[in-house]
Amino acid sequence: MIVFIRTIILYAFVVIAMRIMGKRQIGELQPFELVIAIMMSELAAIPMQDPGVPLVYGIIPIVTLMLIEILLSFISLKFNWARKFLCGSPSIIIEHGKINEEEMRKQRFNLTDMMEELRILGYFNISDIEYGILEDNGKLSIIPKAQASNVTKSDLNIKSPENKLPLSIILDGELLMENLVLSGHDETWLQKKLKEKKIDKIEDVFFAMIDSKGEFYLQKR
């Protein structure tokens, strides 16, 4: 029971620490952030496994790492030289449709990985790419050549209304009143929409939202 409670406490503490550190996804962590995340998980595991180790021995190092991460993030935000030192700089590995072999070797980024990234991004011909940039977090960004880029509505002089912020109105039978007000509607309007779908109670709705086009979407339970 003691181990169970200690595990819950440490789990909650690590989650809180990670939330304070920011909202990056694991694949988007900078190198120093990834190192800190790994160390925090290791530090939390020690008091979990050994009840003889005081809980504070895990909490204090986690707090220390959290403060270090916040400090380094602040420094990298304020000073460009610090960001380059901590995170590195983007690397151009494709330029004007040609692969930069020297930069590929320098970044230890092989052709197989590059082609896989290109296919995932929807590009199959290197000749269609103006620039391929390997970002700090290891992801590949592509700037296509003009003739290979997608045609937009503005290219065709087609005018369309601006997309709006989609808002969830009902989640699993529960009305989100704040979102309903933000959408510019009230409960009378909502009840009218429900009656159009032959629904009497909000509790009978699994999900309802106003999408980016301003249309009302609903799914019954």
135-189 pLDDT per residue, tens: 877 789 999 887 766 767 776 777 766 667 788 999 888 999 999 998 899 999 9
Pick 12 or 161 by higher pLDDT.
12
Domains located in the chain, CATH noted: 2-85 (no CATH), 91-148 (3.30.240.20), 167-220 (3.30.240.20)
CB distance 98 to 107 below 8 Å: no
Position 108 scores a pLDDT of: 87
Pick 80 or 61 by higher pLDDT.
61
Pick 151 or 100 by higher pLDDT.
100
Owner of token pair 């809180």: 16
| Average pLDDT score, the chain | 83
Nearest residue to 192 (alpha-carbon basis) of 202, 184, 206: 202
Neighbours of 130 (CB within 10 A): 15
25-69 pLDDT per residue, tens: 555 666 777 788 888 888 888 888 777 888 888 888 888 888 888
Position 160 scores a pLDDT of: 67
Percent of the chain topping pLDDT 90: 21
CB distance 39 to 2 below 8 Å: no
State the DSSP code for 156: T
